Amino acid sequence: MSSVDRRAFLQSAIAGLGAATLWKLQPASAAPQSDAKNLKIATFKFDATPPIGHGCCGGWIKPIEVVDDPMEGLGFVLLGAGPPIVVCVVDWTGILNEAHVAWRKALAEAAGTTPDRVSVHCVHQHNAPMACIEAEKLVTKLGNLPHLLDLVFFEKCLAGACRAVAEAIQSPQPVTHIAHGEGKVEKVAGNRRIMGPDGKLIAMRGSASKDPQHHALPEGLIDPNLKTVAFYNGDRKLAACHYYACHPMSYYGDGRATADFCGLARRRRQVDEPGCLHLYFNGCGGNIAAGKYNDGSQEARLVLTQRIYDGIVLSEKNLAREAVTSLRWATQDVLPQTDPKYDVGRILAQIADKTQSVANRNRPAYTVSWIRRCEKKIPITLSALHINRTSLVHFPAESFIEYQLRAQQMAPDRFVACAAYGDGGPWYIPTAEAYPQGGYEVSVAWCGPGIDDVLTQGIRSVLVGPA
């Protein structure tokens, strides 16, 4: 595709998205299992660093003033087992709604496949962009709010991703073996929802805390293990995907763009093995953060980086290669309904109210974007990649850790690695039990408790098949 055609395609994807066939809610689907004899992998990387002045985390913390370290997008394309499969992860806060559809459409076109065979995730650093086209249009129309997303930068970054994919698939490498491993990460994650003896929420322990009580309380429900899945050509490791569930911020809101401790740990491992692309995926960490072990200091970032790095190395310590014999890609479209408590008229009035804080005006724009998306019946596509007895399962948004643990329990005979922060449209995805407990996460969950059944059954479908 020429650069002119590429630009026209991207502009079309962003502006109109003409994706009626993609938007139509589809039942569960699974490509026939392949023997994967001719499986190949093409790895790619591109720059995703926002320009100076770009808004961070939805536009209500300080915009970028300086770049401490680059933000990247990384991914791989699997070829030779049906239409190509694309998996991508970006050092951004989130990619939501129509923006996520645009990414999947563009990367699919670049790889010569269909959008249902593309999965795009964010690591969820906060000193980073949050991409939602509808929300940006809404605040831009008012003219008195900071931009949520620089659409020119968005297009440029996506074009760079497409170029990287198109170039990578020109020289793929054979995949003959796969391996998996896991290692416990020490003193990083803790459940941030602190419950009282009566089972009610009494406090939130965020990404950083100087409260000694927060440090003294137990970790609570977490997944302590970092999982790794690696692809090989013979004994040569080509790509390693690392999965761990925790909000990835040590400190933020200071206008300094950074991949933060998870990204820094991944990059350090990349230096160890320059011939293997290392990717980091945030698991279902919606209610998980580092506040038990992190006081928000610069020194703490170094400590957390080391602990994630140690977890990566440990997870790779006993990787045992096995020949690739089968591959299957499964998808399920879901469209959880908006919580009826949200009234568009009231929300739009709040956004227009100049007496409100920026956060109280910008954040509701994402609620409106989700509501309008539901009205258009644009589904979320869940997916899973099954290779031999290993399953890579792809979740949307800020899913709670319980969903990750459920997925592992659904398939006890498989090695299940979970990547969340895919389509960020719903924002937080609590469990049904969390809603009556209240708390921050529930207050910014655009769907009601019914999303629990929708997501659980959808994941069950892609992981073990329809009920």
Q: From first to last of the 467 residues of the chain, give the pLDDT tens digit.
A: 444 454 554 555 555 444 434 445 566 666 666 667 899 999 999 999 999 999 999 888 999 999 999 999 999 999 999 999 999 999 999 999 999 999 999 999 999 999 999 999 999 999 999 999 999 999 999 988 999 999 999 999 999 999 999 999 999 999 999 999 999 999 999 999 999 888 889 999 999 999 999 999 999 999 999 999 999 999 999 999 999 999 999 999 999 999 999 999 999 999 999 999 999 999 999 999 999 999 999 999 999 999 999 999 999 998 999 999 999 999 999 999 999 999 999 999 999 999 999 989 999 999 999 999 999 999 999 999 999 999 999 999 999 999 999 999 999 999 999 999 999 999 999 999 999 999 999 999 999 999 999 999 999 999 998 76
Contacts of 290 (CB under 8 A, 6+ apart): 188, 189, 190, 207, 208, 246, 247, 249, 250, 261, 304
The residue extents of the domains of the chain are: 26-464
Report the run of H or E that residue 265 belongs to, with start and end. Answer: helix 260-272
Beta-bridged to residue 322, according to DSSP, are 178
Rounded to the nearest 5 degrees, what angle is found at the Cα of 78, between the Cα atoms of 455 and 37?
115
CB burial of 230-246 (b: ≥16 within 10 Å; e: otherwise) equals bbbeeeebbbbbbbbbb
**Six-digit token string for 42:** 């093409």
List strand residue ranges (DSSP E) for 234-287, in order. 236-244, 256-257, 277-282
CA atoms of 449 and 453, how far apart (whole Å): 8
State both tokens at 203. 């406090």
Q: Decide: 461 and 393 in contact? Cβ < 8 Å.
A: no
Which H or E run contains 451? helix 451-464
- Tokens representing residue 98 in the block: 């129509």
Interior CA angle at 268 toward 264 and 271, to 5°?
140
Owner of token pair 């949050």: 130
- What is the residue whose two structure tokens read 């921050």? 440
Q: Where are the beta strands (DSSP E) in 150-235?
A: 173-174, 177-184, 190-191, 193-195, 201-204, 225-233
- The residue with tokens 């009601």 is 448
Amino acid found at 279: L
Long-range contacts of 138-141 (CB under 8 A, 24+ apart): 138/351, 138/365, 138/368, 138/369, 139/59, 139/351, 139/361, 139/362, 139/365
Q: How many whole angstroms separate alpha carbon 432 and alpha carbon 434?
A: 5
**Residue 375 CB partners (closer than 8 Å, separation 6+):** none
Rounded to 10°, the helix 97-111/358-375 angle is: 60
According to DSSP, residue 32 is labeled P
